[in-house]
Structure 1
Amino acid sequence: MGAVSNVLAIAAVTTTIRHVLHESLSWLPDPVGGADVTTLRPAQLVADEGPGTDSAGLNVYLYQVTPNHAWNLSDLPTRSPAGTLTRRPVAALDLYYLVTAYGDESALEPQRLLARSALALSVTPVLTKDVIEHAIDKYGSGSTAFLDHADLADQAELVKLSPTPLTLEEISKLWGVLGASYLLSQTYTATVVLLEADVPVRSALPVRQRELDVRTFTQARLEQVVVDGSGPAVTGSTLRLLGAGLLGARTTAVSVGGRRLVPGAGSTSNEVVVALSDRVPAGAHRMQVVHVQPEDPVSGEPERVTGRSNGVGLTVVPRITNVTRPAGLVRVRVVPALHEGQRATVTFGRLTGGLPDEPGVVTVSFPPAPVLVEPVDPDDPLPPSTLDVVESALTAGTWLVRVSVDGAESLPSASGEEYDTPAVTVP
């Protein structure tokens, strides 16, 4: 980015504009006698403590500061993943100025002075190093002696001035906010001021050895996901991912439901085979093939993703493993286990029994699931989730049981023309 400025840069810009305008007061023909350039609030120009209407001059007032998004977006990341500073942050700002002319209206002094200011800022639209240094030499004493420490003149990006026309409504609002009666004026934008914090940073260690690793670029394309057996995708199902360029140069994984599945034996560039782990929760997911460069324990280079395929939707359906009747309850066990925040609903549909006025369907909803505690060994299976329903919610008869988790519904089985399992009989 080059050299930037310290926190005195804004004051230095205001002072430099003041200097440019002051130089124009002596221009021929017919300069306004006794005129000066001030940096007061506009309300002070007619107040008792200000210069008053008996005097003439120009006033420079900074009324707004906004971020310069183009420069802020070009700034590189300033912090490491651990949060420590790796380079000094830079704030890029645009400054908005109100240049006001005042004096004897009968002698047209405000108009004569405003014409000089417009011409001066047109002649000097860029604040060069020489102009800034002359301004600081002139005004860097007394209450503004701090300007000697300003380094705006060394900023690599020169500050540029341009007129900023306002509508009549905007002018009215601006002077209303300033709390002053309108005086003849113009608005200008100064861009860009680059402020850098004087804070310590941690620099990276030097590179000890450079290695060039050239790999061919292959864009993985995932076209279709097929479930073996043509049934729904349930825990333990074998999934076949069809496409092109699916196997990466180093390591390939399948990302689904926040988990990574390892391709099985026989996977090729056009077909990747994975088993649906019980760690993948029920519900709708986006499945992707991911190419990974593993962590290098020798160099310490962390794992990084080198490529991703497009995403294909996959709905993982819950499966009821068994339905029992411990004392006073109907207990439904479901895989995969419910993950934190998942909502489950158990629906009972009457198969046999019951009176005509008794309900044929009973639905029981459960609150969001708590945090799921997984086994320490990742190879150990997750135990199924248990959903207990008070038996008194059901009348006597046989009921077909279904479970819905986050909108994905279990699929019952049929031994004939009708679904009949899993079921529970309530005496």
Structure 2
Amino acid sequence: MSNYLAIATLTATLQRALQASVQVDVDGARVTTVRPDRLNGASPEVGVNIYLYDILQNNAWRSADLRQRYSDDKYTKRSQTGLDLYYLLSCYGNEVELEPQRLIGSIIRTLNSKSIVTQEMIRETVADSTFTFLADSNLAEQVETIAISPVDLNVEEISKIWSVFFQTPYSLSLAYKVSVILIDSGEIAKKPLPVRNLQRHVTPYQPAIAQIKVLEEKTNLWQTQLTATPLILATSTLLIQGNKLSADNIQVRIGDVKVTPQNVTDRQITLDLFSIPVESLRAGVQSIQVIHPQQRVSSNVVPILLRPTIQEVTVSNLQGRGNDTRSAEITVLVNFTIDKAQQVTLLLTELSLAQFAGYSCDQTKHRRGNSHSITFAISDCLPGTYLVRLLVDGAESLFTVDTDPNSATFEQYIGPVVVIS
């Protein structure tokens, strides 16, 4: 958590990050932090203005502020408030030379590459001589990740924001959300008095999940130092380990589905994901929880990353000849149903030892509902054979590895592939 300077520190950090970028992309551009209705006298002729137009409590952190009390009505931990900050970024400059549009492109590129506000960025801002008033800020010590994401505003929402500024002409703008900022009360928690005697108290029985493991050999094949979470596919067998897991009629909730596990002991549950209809599962981050219906208690919730599996890749509407780059539509069929609201990205990596080319595409076509197949429109792609990966809400599909020791491609990636001729 951080102190009262957290909001101002974050605004200053955004200002420094954008200033370093826009002044290179558009000569003489500056980044300011004033009200839009004061820009006529306070902003440079060419530049970007950052305005904090809304602050909302973060819903996920509201329950985190439920503090336990001692018997003398004192709290056991400090009060904290989780906040989401909403910024309006407006661009100004010579319309004939399209300076506002060049600036807004620079903003999108910069905040896309710096979508996470790092501790180093915050420390550099606090140490900047321009922001001496932020010297006591401890935002860099916040453990929770601070993420920057764009906010889609329609014409009506934009009009409502700009109508607050009386007689102020509209300027080309876009909005970003920064989440989450944790501000604590600053109160020092008081230590309780020593225990004089022991009294019996009845506490609810509750199972607890300690960790989740996977049985498959493929986990060992893909094991790296960077693998912080188990590698889980739709065909995986999970070992849910913890305490007090056993009970009558036990259930395991994964995502929105409740299933009966295969084997249950007090310290371990075996759950075959392939026994669950694949239509009920979703790729990406899913939650797992152990439920004891008769006792009406549930365990803690543990997140897992469920990876999709590519079943087929096809190419259509291929355009381009000779040495020219190609444009095409690539359709990827996966085992999971992908919701239309899920974020998907196609990754192509050239299958060649002589040269390397890679492409990333998130432009989809004809995506109106939930489906097992996603079509991507690619352009400016060199002809060749490419390994294909699909990223669904951060969950990346796996390559096929050649495990035949007699093969010429032993321990190399061999699929899935697509040929763009």
What is the TM-score when the length of structure 1 is the normalising length?
0.45
Larger radius of gyration: 1
